[in-house]
């Protein structure tokens, strides 16, 4: 069924949320992705997070206000069990495919 596998960008976001654990919110995710070499607009991240949440792969809460944010709470995300499952599934699929690549395929000269 369409939607049961994450898209490339969705996967990225999921991974970032997982790696940030409990500190995953808009700006943090954006910064993390930037470190990983990908700049993304804030709104894009939020839209993706909403979608992930609708699919049930992440869950969210509002918490963690700081002075820097003018006392506003963060929208914090955490990966759910089913999120973990799809991530693992995706990883496995990829690894399998990597393994099945013959060495000759990447020999360019």
Rule CB under 8 A: which residues touch another protein? 25-27, 41-43, 46-47, 50, 53-54, 60, 62, 65-70, 72-75
- DSSP-derived 3-state class of residue 58: strand
- The smaller minimum CB distance to another protein, of residues 72 and 91, is found at 72
Q: Which residue has the tokens 């949440």?
A: 53
Contact 9, 38 (CB under 8 A): no
Q: Which of 4, 3, 25 is nearest to 85 (CA)?
A: 4
Q: Which is nearer to another protein, 75 or 78 (CB)?
A: 75
Nearer to another protein (CB atom), residue 2 or residue 107 = 2
Report in angstroms how near the CB of residue 83 gets to another protein at its nearest.
Answer: 14
Between CA 11 and CA 75, with CA 64 as vertex, the angle to 5 degrees is: 35
Q: How far is the CB of 19 from another protein (least distance, A)?
A: 19
């Amino acid at each position: 069924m369409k939607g049961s596998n994450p898209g490339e960008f969705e996967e990225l976001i999921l991974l970032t949320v997982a790696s940030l654990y409990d500190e995953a919110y808009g700006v943090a995710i954006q910064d993390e992705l930037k470190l990983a070499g990908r700049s993304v607009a804030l709104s894009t991240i939020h839209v993706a997070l909403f979608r992930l949440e609708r699919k049930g792969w992440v869950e969210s809460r509002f918490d963690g206000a700081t002075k820097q944010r003018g006392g506003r709470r963060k929208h914090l995300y955490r990966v759910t069990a089913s999120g973990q499952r799809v991530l693992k599934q995706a990883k496995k699929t990829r690894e399998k495919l990597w393994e099945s690549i013959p060495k000759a395929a990447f020999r360019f000269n």
